[in-house]
Amino acid sequence: MRSLPFFILFFFTGHQLFAQDYKIIDRDSFSLHYPSSWKLDTKSKDYEPDSTFTINAPGKLNNVIFFIKYQNINIENALDYMTILTTSTFRIKKTESIDITNWGNLSGKGTVIKGKEMGSDIIIKLFVYSEMNRALSVMEIYRDGKIDKLKEEFNSIALSFKFKGQN
C-alpha cells in the first residue's frame, strides 16, 4: 500500500522522464521532426534548406543526410551511384549488405551496408524514393556504439518525414 502514492505520482509525472523533445523542419514541400539534442548543420557548404541538409546526432559521429529533388529519378541508378560513392568515400571494408524497401512511411529502394571504416564498425543506410515529380535520397550514418538508441531516433525522423500533399 505504501507504493500506491509513488505509483500515482509516477503515473501523472513519470512519463515526462521518457518524453523526447523535437525540433521541426517545415518547408513548403516537406516536413520532418528530429530530436532536440540533434543539430541541423546550417554551416555546411552544401546546406540548402529545401534540398540538401544534414542533421547531426550529439558528437557528430552519427548523422542523417537528405537530398531532395523536384523531379522523378531512376531509383535503381540513384541507389547504385550512392552505394559506389559512399563505399569509396568512406573507404568501407564491406562485411554485409541488406536490401530494404522502406524508409519511414516511404516505399522505394535502399540498402544497409555494414562494415569497417579504419578498423571501427560503421553502418550506413541508403534509401531512395521517387514519385510525383519529387525524389528523396537519404543516408543514415551510424558510427557509435549506442546503436539501439540511435536506431530509435533515426526511425522517429524517418517516420516523421512527409512530402506536403502526401497522404
What pLDDT digit, counting tens, does each position of 38-56 carry? 999 999 999 999 999 999 9
Residue 6 is predicted with a pLDDT of: 42
CA distances from 38 to 15, 55, 62 (A): 21, 7, 10
Distance CA(51)–CA(46), nearest Å, equals: 10
Q: What pLDDT digit, counting tens, does each position of 121-149 carry? A: 889 999 999 999 999 999 999 986 677 78
Q: What are the residue ranges of helices labelled H in 28-129?
A: 75-89
- Global pTM value: 0.84
Grid coordinates belonging to 114: 555494414
- What percentage of the chain exceeds 70 in pLDDT? 84
Residue 34 is predicted with a pLDDT of: 98
In the chain the domains, ranked by start, together with CATH numbers, are: 19-163 (3.40.1000.10)
